């Protein structure tokens, strides 16, 4: 991810409904959620949600697919991982203790089972 792409992602996440959409979709996992369910969960009207989804998709943070008559949205885990990697790329600078809290937070997520350790 380059700086321009990171700026696009941060701009997309810099709005409360969009951030909420991404968090809901990350929680939903790869199966994602149908647009109607997502709108209800986030608490926005369908037409408003469409605008936000377009911005998030353009930033590479979510993906969509058609299932029958529904459009299902899911988190674009590769894009989200790239954003985290962009932030952490220059972390530590020879001092691993600086990044230890971030690494520990990421390690607390058991992605194989979907469980997240809670402190």
What pLDDT score does 8 carry?
A: 95
64-109 pLDDT tens trace: 999 999 999 999 999 999 998 888 887 777 777 888 888 788 777 7
117 has a pLDDT exceeding 50: no
Q: What is the pLDDT of residue 9?
A: 96
Please say if the pLDDT value at position 29 is more than 50.
yes
Pairing of strands 33-34, 109-110: unpaired
Q: How confident is the model at residue 2 (pLDDT cuts 50, 70, 90)?
A: very high
The confidence score (pLDDT) of residue 110 equals 61
For residue 99, the model assigns a pLDDT of 81
Domains and CATH numbers, the chain: 3-78 (1.10.10.10)
Q: Which residues contact 84 (CB under 8 A, 6 or more apart)?
A: 106
């Amino acid at each position: 991810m380059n700086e321009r792409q990171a700026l696009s992602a941060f701009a997309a996440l810099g709005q409360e409904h969009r951030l909420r959409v991404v968090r809901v979709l990350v929680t939903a996992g790869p199966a994602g959620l149908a647009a109607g369910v997502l709108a209800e969960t986030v608490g926005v009207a369908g037409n408003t949600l469409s605008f936000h989804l377009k911005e998030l998709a353009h930033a590479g943070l979510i993906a969509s697919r058609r299932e029958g008559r529904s459009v299902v949205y899911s988190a674009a885990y590769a894009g989200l991982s790239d954003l985290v990697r962009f932030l952490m790329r220059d972390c530590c600078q020879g001092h691993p203790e600086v990044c230890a809290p971030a690494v520990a937070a990421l390690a607390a997520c058991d992605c194989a089972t979907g469980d997240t350790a809670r402190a």
